[in-house]
Chain A
Amino acid sequence: MEKESKTTFSLIITFLVIVLLFTMIFSFGLGRYSISIGTIIKILFSKIFTIKQDWELEVELVLFGIRLPRILIAVLVGMGLSISGCVYQGVFQNPMASPNVLGTSSASAFGAVLGILMSLPENLVISSAFFFGLLSIFLVYLIGHKFGDKQILSIILAGIMISSIFSASTSLIKLIADPNDKLPEITYWLMGGLGGSSYENLLFILGPLLIGFIPLFIFRWRLNILTLSEDEARSIGVNTSRLRIMALFCATLITSSTVACCGVISWVGLVIPNLARKLVGNDYRKLFPISALMGGLFLLLVDDLARNLLVSEIPLGILTSFVGAPFFLYLMIRKGKRK
């Protein structure tokens, strides 16, 4: 049976990888400037083999200059949000936990909004989002740690509190922001979107994402132990506080870098991990790769919708909520029925 479940797992992985690659190629063609699949494949192959150029240079520019970075960022951000969702759920032993639980999202958003208000250059806006995201995790952990025994509950309460303080601060900034110029910019950014994606953005988030991904992936089996009670986990011989700090740090780094890059995109970190849990179970050895692939695929598809559904682009955060929230409700109702 162990072998059998292994083959199903590799089948699911292979299937998701293929679907993701096809969706990426397909997404190249979508947009105001539509490009046929044949041309896309020819352009892609021309990078490896010599093929006679029968397309305009403009097409290649759109493909590599605009669409490729956007597609890559969409996939990476989707992966990041799903992975950090998986981690928060395990650490807080709560399937309803998500990157927003700790207040990381609202803190990072506050950081970015503050940057926009002060008309800082883009790099500093992103750094400010990072800084406040990490500040929030530090505060949450500090407060949670004071309570020792009841750590898990107190961390969640601390998260709610910090989240509310930062949302209030963001509202305050909106109140004092110039309604002609800054306010629309802030509001639009808060709704989340990949509109401004460039290679610069990609490179900027790639580092922090990898720093977050790699340790989580390495310690993936150990993370399972964090879902047991504290007494069980420690008597099994796992240093729970060290592992928990590591996991939270990585997940927060991932969350704040995605927020810094494209605003608050809700629901992905909640819906995708839960869907993946249904598909392959809760062992992080299987959960991580599947969540990452599904998250990347999901956000790419939603972003395709965002840029093609209407004439003007729809903010991504709005769409993920419209798609994610009802879907999550559906999952819950189905779960309730089965019980």
Chain B
Amino acid sequence: MSVEVKNLFFKYSERSILEDISFKAEQGQITSLLGANGAGKSTLFKCILGLFKHYEGEIIIEDKKLKNLNQHDLSRMIAYVPQSSYPAFNYSVFEMVLMGTSSFSMAWENPGLAQKEAAEESLKDLGIYYLKDRDYQNLSGGERQLVLIARAIAQKTKVLILDEITANLDYGNQLEVLEKVKNLAIKGLTVILSTHNPEQAFMFSDRIVALQNKKVLANGNPKIIMDSALIKKMYKVDVEMVSLYKDKIRFMAPTFMIN
């Protein structure tokens, strides 16, 4: 299931937030949004999630126009993982993941066997089945993020939207979570994520969409578009790009540190 954004404009009470955004996220790939704070990444996600409806342009999921879908239909296609989630009340990991299956049943029904199995399966898929009976609030940041991803997997959608999911994690957990996300894409999910780490975006993405000043600055294969000029434009920092291990990794060195 692909997600295509076509000439999208978005205004928030007369203030323009997004202008002429176009890109296509393909199935089985990770598409990463890069951009400075306030570049409009979260707004773009809210449009794709159907939470903001008053945009101009089109968002097309496979072959359906998003504007023609209701929230319930959409929840069968796209799942969302926030940067962090702190519910006011503590739930067990299983209860939390089970919530992802809400759209399987009618509103008045309690979760049935199929839903419980879906929740257990997604915990196993992410290798965190052992956390099942723990309290969500007592988990570490990395574990919590995996639980939220498991909840999104339990929703059984073809598209995943991940909004800066590694922002609050330590270095090791960032890589662990991203590696698991990569595996999900390899299994055939369409993943669109936003991140503040260009090096990780380079390592894990199939496509990078760089946003700057409300517009798409660059859009394409990371190996082609990721260079020091792009970083300079997005983040106003001079860097030297170092390629390592046959260009599997590109490392950035800020020039003010090395000169």
Contacts and interface: CB of A to CB of B under 8 A. Distances in A.
B69 to A, nearest CB: 11
B92 interface: yes
Nearest to B92: A281
Contact of B75 (A2, A95, A237, A243): A237
Contact of B91 (A218, A237, A282): A282
A231 B49 contact: yes
Contacts of A90: 89
A283 B136 CA distance: 13
Interface residues of B, number: 36
Given A222-B107, A281-B92, A237 B87 contact: no
A224 B88 contact: no
B46 A1 contact: no
Interface string B87-99: 1111110110001
B79 interface: yes
A288 B109 CA distance: 16
A238 B100 CA distance: 10
B74 to A, nearest CB: 7
A234 B71 contact: yes
B167 to A, nearest CB: 16
B7 interface: no
B145 interface: no
A225 B99 CA distance: 7
Interface string B131-144: 01100000000000
B80 interface: yes
A232 interface: yes
Contacts, number: 96
A217 B62 CA distance: 39
B100 A236 contact: yes
A237 B72 contact: yes
Q: At the interface, is chain A mostly helix, strand, loop or mixed?
A: helix
A227 B88 contact: yes
A219 interface: yes
Most central of A2, A232, A238 by chain B CB within 10 Å: A232
Interface in A196-228: 218-222, 224-225, 227-228
Given A225-B99, A237-B103, A232 B85 contact: yes
Interface residues of A, number: 32
B107 A2 contact: no
Contacts of B133: 1-2, 5
A224 B99 contact: yes
B46 A231 contact: yes
A93 B132 CA distance: 24
Contact of B74 (A221, A227, A237): A237
Most central of B82, B92, B107 by chain A CB within 10 Å: B107
A243 B107 contact: yes
A239 B71 contact: yes
12 contacts: A95-B88, A219-B107, A221-B110, A225-B99, A228-B87, A228-B99, A234-B75, A235-B50, A235-B80, A237-B103, A238-B75, A239-B72
Given A220-B110, A227-B88, A237-B155, 12 more contacts: A2-B94, A93-B87, A95-B88, A221-B110, A227-B89, A229-B85, A232-B82, A234-B50, A237-B102, A243-B107, A277-B89, A281-B91
Interface of B: 46, 49-51, 71-72, 74-76, 78-80, 82, 85, 87-92, 94-95, 99-100, 102-103, 107-111, 116, 132-133, 155, 161
